[in-house]
Amino acid sequence: MDMTIFRQKDILPSFIVNKLASIQIDYKEKYRQIKYSSKTAVPQLAAGVVLLLNYKQFTNGKSEYVFQLIKRSEQVSQAGDISCPGGMLHPVTDKIIGNLFTTGLVPSLHGQIADATIHKDRKTISLIRLFLINALREAWEEIGLNPFRVLFLGALPCYSLTLIARTIFPLVCLTPEPFAFKLSAEVEKILEIPVSNFFDGSNYALLEIETPFRNSTPLHNIQYPCFVLSDDQGGKEILWGATYNIIMNFLRIISGNSLPVPSSSDTIKKVLSKTYISRNSQ
């Protein structure tokens, strides 16, 4: 893939829209399963998230697109994880807000959805609209993202978590202009990662997770691929799990499966606390 596209401010958005409009997504099937599970002993929950892009000018004079992600605070579940802004679906509320946004308050959003879903059926488009509004509402609450100043680029296939009964519906959006983040107590900080960094194999590693969630069995080790983000002070942030997989899926789609083979042999260890999934889920 020609990596210069990530530095082309006016070309990448339409490129992404065209790529995502042509893929198959599983919103109907997943949402049907979630509704059915509400009658079972282990109901699945649904959450919309925003994979947020912004064109950033760096102090070294370079400019390119970055992912804008959040680091979850100690007040919420999965504390310390890097995530996309978003949260749980509230079907009635989000449907009402969606009708207002796409028909009255933000008519341009209706056009953006139409452009990004040109090959989708009516039910899928309806669910995309529902989860987009869900994700934007949650992003406004978490980081102060102004839904009036966001461009919708398309939907990604769902991702179901393994430790928690939850399915994520990811939507790709762009903030055309910089905005002042207003972080809620749920968010420790914002991380901005250049998209091109994900095409450098040396940024990847294995994350060895110890989980204490089996009531009658000892801790057990599980290894996951991860992305390592180093800061200027020598610290490291680890991107893994759902958000890692959502970003990898997005990059595979737009790059035509041209992601690099990880070239690092590092293994990083992480022990999940007993409250990792027991705090107020967001």
29 pLDDT higher than 70: yes
Average pLDDT in the chain: 89
Q: What is the mean pLDDT of residues 175-203?
A: 93
Dihedral of CA 257/260/261/264: which sign?
negative
Residues 185/248, Cβ–Cβ less than 8 Å: no
Q: Which of 101-110, 201-210, 233-242 has the lowest mean pLDDT?
A: 101-110
Distance CA 277, CA 62 (A): 39
pLDDT of residue 165: 84
Q: How many CB atoms lie within 10 A of CB 176?
A: 13
Distance CA 114, CA 15 (A): 16
pLDDT of residue 216: 43
Query: What is the CATH superfamily name and number for domain 3-198?
Result: Nucleoside Triphosphate Pyrophosphohydrolase (3.90.79.10)
Q: Which helix (H) or strand (E) holds 208?
A: strand 204-211
Angle between helices 122-143 and 107-116 (to 10 degrees): 120
pLDDT of residue 179: 84
Tokens of 117: 């879903």
pLDDT (tens digit per residue) in 39-89: 887 888 999 999 999 999 888 888 999 999 999 999 898 889 999 999 999
Q: What is the pairing mode between strands 166-175 and 159-160?
A: antiparallel
pLDDT of residue 150: 92
Tokens of 260: 């690099």
Please tell me whether residue 131 adopts helix, strand or coil conformation.
Answer: helix
Distance CA 94, CA 115 (A): 21
Q: What is the mean pLDDT of residues 176-205?
A: 93
pLDDT (tens digit per residue) in 95-138: 888 777 666 556 677 788 888 998 899 999 999 999 999 999 99
Q: Which residue has the higher pLDDT, 163 or 273?
A: 273
Q: What is the mean pLDDT of residues 194-204?
A: 95
Distance CA 44, CA 35 (A): 8
Q: Which residue has the higher pLDDT, 235 or 186?
A: 186
197 pLDDT higher than 50: yes
pLDDT (tens digit per residue) in 245-282: 999 999 999 999 889 888 888 899 988 888 887 665 44
Please tell me whether residue 16 adopts helix, strand or coil conformation.
Answer: helix
Task: Indicate the pLDDT class of residue 196, thresholds 50, 70 and 90.
Answer: very high
Q: Which of 34-43, 149-158, 176-185 has the lowest mean pLDDT?
A: 34-43
As a whole number of Å, the CA-based R_g of the chain is 19
Dihedral of CA 106/109/114/115: which sign?
positive
pTM above 0.75, yes or no: yes
User: Which residues touch 242 (CB under 8 Å, ≥6 apart)?
Assistant: 83, 159, 161, 168
Q: What is the mean pLDDT of residues 173-201?
A: 93
Percent of the chain with pLDDT over 70: 91
- Tokens 């002070």 locate to 233
Q: How many CB atoms lie within 10 A of CB 155?
A: 28
pLDDT of residue 154: 97
Residues 195/204, Cβ–Cβ less than 8 Å: no
Tokens of 15: 């490129």
- Tokens 């939907």 locate to 155
Dihedral of CA 270/249/173/66: which sign?
positive
Q: What is the mean pLDDT of residues 217-231?
A: 77
